[in-house]
Each structure stands twice: as structure tokens, then as C-alpha cells.
Amino acid sequence: MTVTPSLKWGLIGLAAIVLSLAQAGLFQQDLFNLNGAPLLWKFIVASVHPDFSPELLQTTFNATLTTLAYAVCGTFFSLILGIIGGVLTSEVWWLSFGQPSRFWLLIRGFLAAPRAIHELIWGLFFVNIWGLDPLTAIVAITIPFGAITAKVFSEILDETPRQPLLILLNSGFSPLTAFFYSLLPQAFLNLLSYTFYRFECSIRSAAVLGIIGAGGLGYEIFLSLQSLRYEQLWTFFYALFILNGLVDLSSAWLRRQLGCSSRLDLNLQQTKKKQAPKDIVRRRYFLLLPVSLALLALCFWVINPDFSKLWALRTQQLLGQFVRSALPPDFSEVPRLIPQAIETVSMSVLAIAFSAFGGLLLAFPAANNFFLPGGLLNSNPGKSANLLPQIMLLLSRAILLMCRAIPAPIWALVVLFVMFPGILPGAIALGLHNLGILGRLMAEVIENQDQRPLEALKAQGTPNSLIFLYGVLPLTMPRFVAYSLYRWEVCMRETVIVGLVGAGGLGRSLTEQLSSFDYRSLIVTLGGFLMLTFLVDWVSATARRSLR
């Protein structure tokens, strides 16, 4: 028997997980610190009686508004950057101007660096320049998210069928007109759908940025956790759940209205597309614009960032100072960086293994088309007395929401109650946070799955367990794996943010060097981190391609 790509990559993945576990010290050292158990218990008990005093509720409301405002403003600016960058880095744009040059590849390469650096590092950097101004949070979100959006937009544009554009170009339209009349309308829904997804990500990022002092819910949570005020902490947690839940729900609802069912399409082969939605809902596009504009205005008014700082003389001076003090790079730390780099990769591997496994387990009860009455695997058609599936649906969705709403560094601090610092608690924290995102994406894969092959199996009298084995699992697995690999790339970047709270790896060095103004070493560490990120991206992309 020949070795299939899935077998090969499966074995590689397994080996990577085992090696990472060994690296995490699973087999030699003490991992659990049971002295912290009472504290953890106190923390858990506080969840049932959060602090609902009026003053705290007022604080919570303000903090929630701040977090939302960061996310909205950050998304707005990254959208602008994304549109400009996306168009400029797409092959099709240069093609329509009759320039077959490879210029777009160059810009694409240039955008890789801001994308690879996590928002938190950008945040810490800009705190050094602007202090704790709202501007810091917005720019910290805008830079990496703008670069990511640009990349995804350019890919969407390049993958949109070009025939209509070429027809217009060949009949003498100006390139710009042709672009606006053919490619943009075709790609619009995909672009919009991705924008919603970016906004969901922005909300989570805005919470993380609070931890470096930028304010908002993340900041309040961090303060309460440090001062052991768990009742307050849970009030903020609940606010974060509601905010995340509302944003995810409305984004899902909007995408359903517009007929784009998947929030991010990883360009697997496009087979068996569902039918286009009925045209009655199309008109609601136009409502979207005034609503988002009003929200945007409100958010700018709430946080009132001082944009003059962007071009202020002092900013230029500080930036110049930074560049001068960062050169020449200091390579003396390199021997110390190599084990840290290995730690970082191990942490990301363990995190994604954890979240893929957990996400898979929770995705099936969280999908709405399987166990519910009328669902394919519901064993009692016609009888609706059984409430268990509904309860499982709500419960699993609640767990997923809780996992993704709480920022990874906060999870890390909670895990550190009962574990000794190291890469394993870091991986668990990252894993918990990503589990919530991955489980949600997987549930969507299941809900969008073509039902016909499964109905065919059912019609010939196949028991449910075997429908699952021969139908559901093989049909959904490729997408699960693709999402997990994609999330692995994200996990790699996020190792930095758990490094901040002492989970080890390169993230820890980065944050230490940033806060001690050791810019000459910082540049080197950052360079190493970038190389590592590109390596992981490459492995993930290669695996995804060969598993298609």
C-alpha cells in the first residue's frame, strides 16, 4: 500500500505532538501546583455570585463600550488599509492595467512582516511612544489586521472568476471602470463576509489589548484578577460573554441574510455549492451602511482618540530615537534564543492539538442540524419530548463562547493557579481560547455540509453510528484539518501573548526586552520570531495543499 498524504501528515502531526509534550516536560517534572487549588475553587465559586453593585455595573458598562469602540475603530481602519492593500497586491489589478510585472508580489511580501507580529507586541511598542492613549489600541489593531485583511482581500479578488472582467477590458472599457463593474460586485459578498469575521476577531483583540493597560474589559479583568477580586472579575467576564455573543450572533445573522454562509473560506475545492439564497433579502444591504456609520461615529465619540499624535513632532522624535537605539542589532542573545524558539513551536503545536480535539468534540452537539428534532441523526423522528439535544446544543455553545471570549492571557493566569509556569500552561491557555473559535468554525462546517450523501446512507437503513463513520466524518474532516492548520498559524503568533504572563518561549523575551528598552536585542528576537512564523505558515500551507 502506498503512503497517502493524509497518512504521512497524520504521522508527522503525531510525532510533533509527542515531541512537544516531551519538550513541555510532561514526562519528567512536577507540573501541578496543588497549593493553588483553593484559590481556583474560590475563583470558580465566584462565578455564581458576581458583583452587581451599581458602581461596578457602571464601570462594566463603560469598559464594555471602550472595548467595543476599540474593535469598531480598529476594524474600520484595517478595512481601509485592507481595501487599498488588497487591491494593490492582487494580481488581477495589475493585470487589468496591462502590467504583467511582479510588482504585486513585492508588496505582498512587504505586508508579511506587520501581519506576523501580534497586536499585543504592536501595542507594547506604541505604548512606549504614545503612552496609554486610545490611539495606541486602535493602531495596534489596525496594523496587523490591515495587513491580514489586505492579504485575504487580494486572494479573494484573485480567485474571483476573471472572464467578465476580461470581456469588459477587451471591449474597450477603462481598467478602473471594468474593475468596478465586474470583479468588485462578484467578490463583494466574500469581502463583506470576511469583514464580519475580522470584526469578531477585533473584539477579542481589543480585550487582549486591555491587558497592557489600554483600558476596556481586558484591563478591568486583569486588575481584578491581580487583586484577587473574583466577584468583580466575573461581572466583567459576563459582560465579555454578552459582547462576544452578540457580535458573533449578529455577524452570523447578517451573513445568513446576505447569503454567505461561511465566515472564512479556506479555498478547499468548491464542490456541491448550496443554492444561492432567495433574492428577497438582497435589498437589506442598504440598511447596513447607515447602521455601521452610526456605530462608527458613536465609537469615535466614546474613545475620542487624539489623531494629531500620529504626525506630531514628538512621535517622529521618539520613532527616530527608537531606530537609533535599535541599531546595530545585538546578536549576543542568539544562543539563548534557540531553545526558546523550540519552546515556542512546541507550545503552538500543543495548543492547536488541544483545541482541535476539544473543538471537534464540542462542534457536533453545537451544530444545529444533527441531533435536534428533524436533524439527520435524531433517533426519534416525530417525537419531540426529548429535550437532551437542545440542552446539549445550548451547553456546548455556551462553553465555546466562554472559551473564545476570555483572552488567552487571562486563561493563562487562571491555569497558573494550579500549574507551575512553563510552556504547558501556556499551551493550555492558548488551547482553551482557540478551542472556542475552532469549535465554532467546525460547527459551521457541519451545518453547511451537503446532506445528500448522508440521506442516501440513511435511506438504505444504515444505523446512525455508521452514518457518522462513513458519511459525516470523512466529509467534514478535510475542512476540520484545514481550519486547524490555519488556526495553528494564529496560535504561533499568539504564543507571544501568553509569554507576557510568564508562559515562556520567545514571547517572554520579547516582552522583557520591550519593557526594558533593550531594542538592540529586541530587533534580533523579533527577526527570529518572524522567521519562525514564516516557517510555520509554510508547513501549514504545504500540508493544506497536499491534503486537499
Partner 1 sequence: MDLPAPVFELKHVSQQFGQFSALTDISLQIYPGERVALVGSSGAGKSTLLQLLNGTLRSTQGEVWAMGRNLSQLSSKRLRQIQQQIGTIYQQLHLVDNLRVIHNVNAGQLGRWSFLKALTSLIVPLETETAIKALSQVGIAEKVYERTDRLSGGQQQRVAIARVLVQNPIVILADEPIASLDPELSREVMDLLRNLAQQTHRTLIVSLHDVDFARSHCDRIIGLRQGKVLFDAAPHQVSPDLIADLYRLESHR
Instruction: Give the interface with partner 1 as residue ranges (CB under 8 A).
Output: 269, 271-272, 379-382, 450, 452-453, 455-463, 465-466, 469-471, 474-475, 478
Nearer to partner 1, 272 or 336 (CB): 272
**At its nearest, how many Å lie between partner 1 and the CB of residue 480?**
12
C-alpha cell at 293: 456609520
- The residue type of 536 is V
Nearer to partner 1, 38 or 374 (CB): 374
Label each residue of 140-177 as H, E or C. HHHHHHHHHHHHHHHHHHHHCCCHHHHHHHHCCCCHHH
| Among the listed residues 485, 475, 390, 479, the one whose alpha carbon sits nearest the alpha carbon of residue 442 | 479
Nearer to partner 1, 101 or 269 (CB): 269
Nearer to partner 1, 300 or 470 (CB): 470
| Dihedral pair phi/psi, residue 184, rounded to 5° | -60, -50
**At its nearest, how many Å lie between partner 1 and the CB of residue 343?**
35
| Long-range contacts at 452-459 (CB < 8 A, ≥ 24 apart) | 452/272, 454/376, 455/376, 458/376
**At its nearest, how many Å lie between partner 1 and the CB of residue 475?**
6
**At its nearest, how many Å lie between partner 1 and the CB of residue 455?**
6
**At its nearest, how many Å lie between partner 1 and the CB of residue 459?**
5
**At its nearest, how many Å lie between partner 1 and the CB of residue 379?**
6
**At its nearest, how many Å lie between partner 1 and the CB of residue 443?**
20
Helices (H), 376-518: 388-405, 408-415, 423-448, 452-459, 464-467, 473-499, 506-515
Label each residue of 303-321 as H, E or C. HCCCHHHHHCHHHHHHHHH
Label each residue of 447-487 as H, E or C. HHCCCHHHHHHHHCCCCHHHHHHHHHHHHHHHHHHHHHHHH
- The residue type of 127 is V
**At its nearest, how many Å lie between partner 1 and the CB of residue 464?**
9
Contact 463, 390 (CB under 8 A): no
C-alpha cell at 267: 479555498
**At its nearest, how many Å lie between partner 1 and the CB of residue 274?**
12
Contact 70, 138 (CB under 8 A): yes
d(CA 243, CA 220): 15
d(CA 200, CA 188): 19
| Long-range contacts at 156-161 (CB < 8 A, ≥ 24 apart) | 156/86, 156/187, 156/190, 156/191, 156/194, 157/86, 157/87, 157/90, 157/92, 157/93, 157/183, 157/187, 158/90, 158/91, 158/92, 159/267, 160/92, 160/186, 160/187, 160/190, 161/186
Contact partners, residue 242, CB within 8 Å, separation at least 6: 64
Cα-Cα end-to-end distance for the chain: 20
Nearer to partner 1, 476 or 495 (CB): 476
**At its nearest, how many Å lie between partner 1 and the CB of residue 372?**
16
Contact partners, residue 35, CB within 8 Å, separation at least 6: none
Nearer to partner 1, 245 or 453 (CB): 453
Nearer to partner 1, 232 or 378 (CB): 378
Q: What angle do CA 162, 167, 169 make, to 5 degrees?
A: 95
Q: How far is CA 125 from the centre of its chain?
A: 21
Nearer to partner 1, 351 or 472 (CB): 472
Nearer to partner 1, 57 or 456 (CB): 456
Nearer to partner 1, 131 or 374 (CB): 374
**At its nearest, how many Å lie between partner 1 and the CB of residue 19?**
25
Nearer to partner 1, 469 or 535 (CB): 469
**At its nearest, how many Å lie between partner 1 and the CB of residue 282?**
22
Nearer to partner 1, 39 or 266 (CB): 266
